[in-house]
Amino acid sequence: MDIDARLLEAAERLFDGEGFNATGMGRLVRESGLSSRTVYKHAGSKNALMAKVLSERQRRFFAHLDAESTTALFASLRSWVEQEGARGCLFFRVHAETGGGMPEIEAVVSAYHTELHGLIAALVARETGAADAVLADRVLALFEGATTAATYRGTAVIDAASAGAAQLVAAAAS
């Protein structure tokens, strides 16, 4: 594993499991097994490293999502949560921790939300035959709510959200 991959893997594990604010650079150095000089050379700063972690997570998440149908979308969310664990959305958690005051992090958080909204809006338009911003927001709310609720209700809540989203989309399509 190359240095960047090693650093990103350790940083994502720590930021996701313990939080952005609770994870210091010293801990990242120890967990990555790299020298502090190497970590700073490749990361730049903690904020820049968090932005890189989020960008990589976004890439992996969207590569994992199946947006062929509403049911497939939620099934892929369920499999993501089963593989990665149910800790809620890392993008929401980092935004909450940082308060939106770190431009390099906020840019990635915004890009994630824009991509997710666009994916769901396109899915809704494809399944119903017409763009419907309100319906897209409803499906998005069910998707994001299921991501959060899975932390304390388990993956069955994702199935419930999927059924609700499918009903909304089917009603709009008829």
Provide the token pair at 151: 């932390």
- Write down the domain spans for the chain: 1-44, 53-173
Superfamily (CATH H level) for 1-44: Homeodomain-like (1.10.10.60)
pLDDT tens-digit series, residues 118-168: 999 999 999 999 999 999 999 999 999 999 999 999 999 999 999 999 999
Closest C-alpha among 158, 152, 64 to residue 116: 64
Closest C-alpha among 54, 157, 37, 153 to residue 111: 54
Write down the mean pLDDT value for the chain: 95
Angle at 112 (CA atoms; ends 41, 145), nearest 5 degrees: 130
What is the rounded CA–CA span in Å between residue 132 and residue 130?
6
